[in-house]
Amino acid sequence: MKRLLVIVLGPILIIGLGSCGLFRANTFKYEAVASKIPKLEIEILMQDSTLNVRALEVDKAGTGIFATSKGDVGFIYESKGLNLDYNQEEELRCDIFYGLNFGKDSVANFRSVAKTKNTFFALTIGNPAIMFSAIDDEIRPFLYEEHHPNVFYDAMEFWNDEEGIAIGDSIDGCLSVIITRDGGNTWAKLTCDQLPKGIEGEGAFAASDTNIAIVGDHTWVATTAGRLYFSDDKGLTWSIYNTPIVKDKDTEGIYSIAFYDIKNGFAIGGDYTKPEENTANKMRTRDGGKTWQLVAQNESPGYRSCVQYVPESKAQKLVALGFKGIDYSDDAGDSWTHLSDESFYTIRFLNDSVAYAAGDKRIAKLTFRK
């Protein structure tokens, strides 16, 4: 959703790899309440009072990438170190590699990131909205730049190494959608006659960079109006699907959407100002988003900012999290078990038992043990 951000253009400051002044914390373990529910282990990888991360991804090689609300971008990766016997061992590291801003009076506020085979992308929310990319040690700012009082970008994803999409709040009657077809070197904004007619004030919640779901050429975009924009041709044509999720107030709507395959999808939302409310805030589709069924009605969890399928779970296992904790379902969302009160904003899975999560003041590794 829109939040006023004024950036005064000036010299770009780039801070190279160095010490972050951050530290590892203890590992937390949460016991399962039933044998079929996993035990959750949380290892804090990075912690700092100024850290705020809503933009997180995992690439095909298993490397985590993130960007912060203060203009930092970094990686979670395996690093080889030397033990006392001088043998190499793997260590999981989380480091900030670049710090970006436009001058002393401005901050690059990132809410969306993406990575192709060789390139890292980060997009500021606006105004102006500015796209950055990094290849090895080379920063390329201003791949895309948009100035407008209402510009506000919420999420970004790639179909493949050449084609990607980012979405933002409505301007002049339609959703903001920008697309690249050349590996991110150039981005073009779709005109309103290329998109369905928008609803006044329709946008997306920039809460976890999960407003876009992609499976193959199929794309779903979730909005604050409780609607889904759907394309089966990588953004060339679009249609609208309506949903029954709660959406009567500006703080209600779809906060996060995930698809396991082209048929099975799940969405979660609610009202972040009333996070315990759990009416009409969780829904499932089994026909590619055409129709949706409310699930776990009037049952926890309430508001959550992110939901993701557990890989290799046949669309049965889900994890949802937010600032009120972490919840797990093994029956496609019909029922949920609260695993932890630990607060995070967003999560991405590496495999069926390990994920990275990020939020206010920290980034962590989450392990789900049987």
Phi, psi of 300 (to 5 degrees): -65, 150
Burial class (CB in 10 A: 0-12, 13-18, 19+), 64: buried
SS3 57: strand
Strand-pair partners of 176 = 168
Residue 60 — left, alpha, or beta (φ > 0 → left; ψ -120 to 50 → alpha)?
alpha
How do the pLDDT tens digits run along the chain, 370 residues long?
Answer: 543 333 333 444 443 443 344 444 456 554 444 447 899 999 999 999 999 999 999 988 889 999 999 999 999 998 865 454 555 567 899 999 888 776 555 678 999 999 999 899 999 998 889 999 988 778 887 889 999 999 999 999 999 999 999 999 999 999 999 999 999 999 999 999 999 999 989 999 999 999 999 999 999 999 999 999 999 999 999 999 999 999 999 999 999 999 999 999 999 999 999 999 999 999 999 999 999 999 999 999 999 999 999 999 999 999 999 999 999 999 999 999 999 999 999 999 999 999 999 999 999 999 999 8
pTM over 0.75: yes
State the CATH class of domain 23-369. mainly beta
Closest C-alpha to 232, from 243, 247, 221:
221
SS3 192: helix
